[in-house]
Amino acid sequence: MIPSWARVAFAVFAVSWGANQFAPMQLVYRDHLGLGSDSFTAMLGSYVVGLIPALLWFGRLADRIGRRPVIRAMIPVSIASSIVLLLGAHTPALLYPGRILAGLASGMAFGAGTAWMKELSKGPGVGARRAAVSLSAGFGCGALFAGLIAQWLPAPDHVPYIVHITLMVVALVAVWGVHDGHVPRTARGSRHLSALASRRFRWGVVPWAPWVFGCATVSFATMPPIVSDRVSGVAVAFTGAVAALTLLTGAVIQPWARRITRDGEDRGVRAGIGLGVSGFAAATVAVVVDGPGAVVAVLVAAVLFGAGYGILLVSGLVIVENITPPDQLAQTVAVFYCLIYLGFAVPFLVSLAAPHIGYGACFAVAVATMLLALVPGRPATSRNSAMAQPEPAASSSDNLG
């Protein structure tokens, strides 16, 4: 018998797969459709147009009507996104709405799915870790298998999307009958989110949250093109492999990240920032060295960025879980996801600045910004640590097992 939380985790995994299957497709669309890097970057970023409103709207809806209706409605949207992207092989303009639909599906899934997993899991922080693992594994596998399929199988602009459609059909069957025990306290009880007004959130989460995906996206969006001439012939697969290495490292490190946060979430945040800074150091090496050493440095940076991403993601979710009332959880998680997705702008900013100041200077600015993000969180953490610790025990009675 598959546990209920695992069924929900598979649905989040599958929609995350679809969200990131587009990442390694740049060279495919360049060769088949003649798309330039600017057009592809715009298509990649259009995902956020659907994501952010969906996170905010459907997070609130999930707290009002329950998790299951939102997840059930999400799956057809995710299937539709891959159908539209598949048709984009013949009509490139469809790639934009396809990516927007992928963002819409992700926004529907992430807040509701994370809250649902928390409620189906026993023990403080367990749901947060499971949500982070399913999200990271889906992102990583989507990029990896889309890259491998596109590199070596026929119809590279069709087959990856067919695989994702199949996954979503399985997810629909898996999650359809899962029990939803969430009961809103009041019809309007989730209009004002108390956690967002806390110092713990405003100063202990907001400053560093964009670096969750800031680290990950620099790894798989900025670094592979820098060494593309050294991996000619397998560039599509290499791009997918770097994305997968980054995101799957983020998934694999989750148990260790959870152990760190047991002694205080601030320890996890500091560890994640430290690994991200180390990732930028390795990225700088990739820029300044030649030959195979640059490729190795990109792979090392992917592991470091991935570890930083994973620890920051689970640390943030644990903090949110600890400070949020149960009837506001999906909405508050959705706001956290909105914040971390701001990090998708980092590769775009690097692409604008690098021709003028160089990659090394861009990475140095990123390191300084990451370190500064830790400063405002220290007083907030110390003032709130005593209040934050009892919260998991208080909310564990809502777990469904």
pLDDT in tens, 46-92: 898 999 999 999 999 999 999 999 999 999 999 999 999 999 988 88
Q: Which of 305, 221, 243 is nearest to 44 (CA)?
A: 221
Question: Is residue 189 in a domain?
Answer: no
153 pLDDT more than 90: no
- Three-state SS at 64: helix
Domain that holds residue 263: 4-175+195-386
- Three-state SS at 166: helix
Instruction: Using pLDDT thresholds of 50, 70 and 90, give the confidence band for residue 308.
Output: very high
Question: Is residue 13 in a domain?
Answer: yes
Half-sphere exposure in the Cβ direction for 386 (13 Å, CA):
3
Phi, psi (5° rounding) for residue 231?
-125, 30
382 pLDDT more than 70: no
Length of the chain (residues): 401
Question: Is residue 15 in a domain?
Answer: yes
For residue 261, what pLDDT is reported?
Answer: 67
Question: Is residue 394 in a domain?
Answer: no
Question: Is residue 391 in a domain?
Answer: no
Average pLDDT over residues 217-243: 85
Q: What CATH number corresponds to the domain at position 133?
A: 1.20.1250.20
For 213-234, letters b (16+ CB in 10 Å) and e give bbbbbbbbbbbbebbeeebeee
Question: Is residue 399 in a domain?
Answer: no
Count the neighbouring beta carbons within 10 Å of the beta carbon of residue 122.
Answer: 11
Domain count along the chain: 1
For 316-338, letters b (16+ CB in 10 Å) and e give bbbbbbbbbbbbbbbbbbbbbbb
Question: Is residue 185 in a domain?
Answer: no
For residue 259, what pLDDT is reported?
Answer: 75
Question: Is residue 398 in a domain?
Answer: no
Most confident of 16-30, 287-301, 373-387: 287-301
